[in-house]
Every structure is written in structure tokens, then in C-alpha cells.
Chains A and B, each alone.
Chain A
Amino acid sequence: MELLYGLITGILFGFFLQKGRVLRYDKQIGALRLQDMTIVKFMLSHIAVAMVGVYLLHDFGLVKLSLKPTILGGVIIGGLLFGLGWGLLGYCPGTSLGALGEGRWVAFVGIIGMLVGAGLYAEAYPYLQKTVLTWGVYGKITIPQILGVNHWLVIAPFVVGTVFLFRWLEKKDL
């Protein structure tokens, strides 16, 4: 049953990604070249809506958070590496499948590359586990936790800031 939910959720997400024109190479690289912020608009809209929704539900005890631990070595080095590759590929792991779905079939070459990358990481994992992944381990922490404030005091400024960013992007026609 869970598998079926996964498929349905993916279909809905892929549908909206395509409708928002987020899957295109030109849009992804357009954002990285600071020429077209479509994917940033999409991502931040998703985040703002889901942030409010999930924390509301969390306050009522209806959902559990699922935090990834903060390991500075892994997140910073891995994040930068991901970004470097992303700028060359022009798709991220999720959107590569979507790009293939709308006929941009060079994404398939990228998918094969990503499978190779995953295989290489599996080879390197025992070594990385003893080195990079031990640098700056802080566990599952959130911004409100480190600031020592209620989460709504972070969510409200985040949402307001996002709206101001959107207005600025529209004014600059990005």
C-alpha cells in the first residue's frame, strides 16, 4: 500500500513540477546563472506552504518530524560537490526523471551518470565514514532549537522574507 502511495505522490509532484516548468535544463541553469528564478519561486513556494502546514500539524501531534543529522563535513563538502555536478548536468536527481518524462532524453545519460556516482559513493563510504562524516557532527538539530525560540518565531519571518523576495524578483523580472 505504501508503495502505491509513493507512486501516486510522485505522479502528483511530477505533474506540478512539469506545469511549473521547473524540469527544464534552461530553467535550472537559468537560476544558477541568475537569469531566471523559476525554480527558486517553485521551491520556496513549496517550502513556505509545507512549513506552515507541517508545523501546524506537528503542534497538534498529527505528524512526526524526520530530520537529517547535521554533519558539517558531509553537508558542506557534499553539498558543494552536488552543486558543481548539478551545474554541469542541469538536472537534480528528482527532476532528471521528470525531464525524461517530458521527452528531454539526454537526462537519461545524466541518470546513468548518477547511478555510477551512487555506486562510487558506496565504494568510498567505509573511508568517508571514518573521515569527512566525523567532522562537525551536531545531530538532528533545527534552527529554532539553536536559537532557543518557539518555531513560529522562525516560520513567520521566513514566510514574510520569502514574500518580500518574491516581490523583489518580480520587480527585477527574474
Chain B
Amino acid sequence: MKEDRGWNPYLAGALSGLVSIGSIWFVGKYFGASTTFVRTAGMVEKLFSPERVATMPYFIKEMPIIDWQWLFVIGIGIGAFLAAVSSGSFRWQAVPDMWQDRFGSSFRLRGTVAFIGGIIAMFGARLADGCPSGHGLSGVLQLAVSGFIAFIAFFVGGLISANWLYKGGGKR
């Protein structure tokens, strides 16, 4: 299969930067994504023990409600779907190509690593108070010291684990 190259990433990135400016100018909202995961976790936990959630400091700080960012994150999924379908690059796929080449097509292995990775990534993102959107894009574009440090730390951590995963490490 021919690799579809999509748009020039500089162009797509610059256009998304214009969307960011518009959002900040007209609505006063900076891009971010990871707080939404806290709010959603709170909503799920509320189903089981609403009294407990109501007393937890972190859910008092980040209330389990649907806000601007929550719909922004949902919108990312919808926008990606529209772009993928309109360009014929939508593909129902469980195990990514690069992973298959190295670790085979076992969904269980890929799923387990993705799940564990997700737990660690989100715990870290909340400790850092942001993810590549909130710190990496919004923080750096405002020249925030926290944004630059986070941006570097994200890549350092990622370089370590991705290269460990793909350079042996007894994983196969």
C-alpha cells in the first residue's frame, strides 16, 4: 500500500496555529486536553460514589463537568474522522504498522502496553499540569517557562521509553 502523505505538516501546523489564535482572541480559550481526562474520570467515579468524589480535593479543583475543553477534545475526534473519511485515509486498524514490524500483530500485547502507557502518561501530565497541548503548544507559544521545561521533559521521557522499547530491552 502506498503511504498517503497528507498535507505538508508545516502548512497543517500553521493553519492549526491560526485556529489557536482565533480561539484565544474570540473566546479567550487556550488549547489543552488533559484536564478533560480528570473531569471524565470524576464523572465515572461519581456514578459509583458521588459522596466521595464531592470531598476529593482534586475533583473540587477540576470539577467533573462538561466544559469548553471537554467538547474541544471530543471535537478533535470528529474533525479527525471528517478529515480521514474525506481523504480516504480512514482505516480501521488495531495494531499500528511500526509496532507490527517489531512485535507482531498481537492485539493483547499492544493493548497492554498502550494501557500501561496511558496510565503513566496521564499521571505525569496531571503532575506537570499539562500535556503537549496545554504546555507544549499553549505554554510555549506564550513563552511560559513551564511550557518550555515541560516540552523538553516530554521529549526526553519519550526518547527514553520509545528507544528502550524498540532497541531490544528483552521485549521479544
Report B140-171 CB contacts with A as 1/0, cut-off 8 Å: 11111111111011111111111111100000
Report yes or no: A90 in contact with B111, Cβ–Cβ below 8 A.
Answer: no
CA gap between A8 and B159 in the complex, in Å: 33
Contact of A44 among B13, B95, B115 (CB under 8 A): B13
B160 contacts across to A, CB distance below 8 A: 83-84, 87
Report yes or no: A101 in contact with B163, Cβ–Cβ below 8 A.
Answer: no
A5 contacts across to B, CB distance below 8 A: 23, 26-27, 29, 68
Report yes or no: A13 in contact with B150, Cβ–Cβ below 8 A.
Answer: no
B89 contacts across to A, CB distance below 8 A: 18, 102
User: How far is the CB of A170 from the nearest CB of chain B, in Å?
Assistant: 10
Report yes or no: A63 in contact with B93, Cβ–Cβ below 8 A.
Answer: no
Report yes or no: B21 in contact with A19, Cβ–Cβ below 8 A.
Answer: no
Report yes or no: B166 in contact with A114, Cβ–Cβ below 8 A.
Answer: no
CA gap between A75 and B145 in the complex, in Å: 10
Bin chain A's interface residue count: 35 or more
Report yes or no: B14 in contact with A101, Cβ–Cβ below 8 A.
Answer: no
CA gap between A136 and B92 in the complex, in Å: 45
Report yes or no: B81 in contact with A102, Cβ–Cβ below 8 A.
Answer: yes
Query: Cβ of B54 < 8 Å from any Cβ of A?
Result: no
User: How far is the CB of A141 from the nearest CB of chain B, in Å?
Assistant: 5
User: How far is the CB of B149 from the nearest CB of chain A, in Å?
Assistant: 5
Report yes or no: B80 in contact with A81, Cβ–Cβ below 8 A.
Answer: no
A140 contacts across to B, CB distance below 8 A: 144
B140 contacts across to A, CB distance below 8 A: 47, 51
Q: Which residue of B lies closest to A20 (CB)?
A: B12
Report B56-84 CB contacts with A as 1/0, cut-off 8 Å: 11110100001111111111111111111
Report yes or no: A114 in contact with B27, Cβ–Cβ below 8 A.
Answer: no
CA gap between A15 and B77 in the complex, in Å: 9
Query: Cβ of A119 < 8 Å from any Cβ of B?
Result: yes
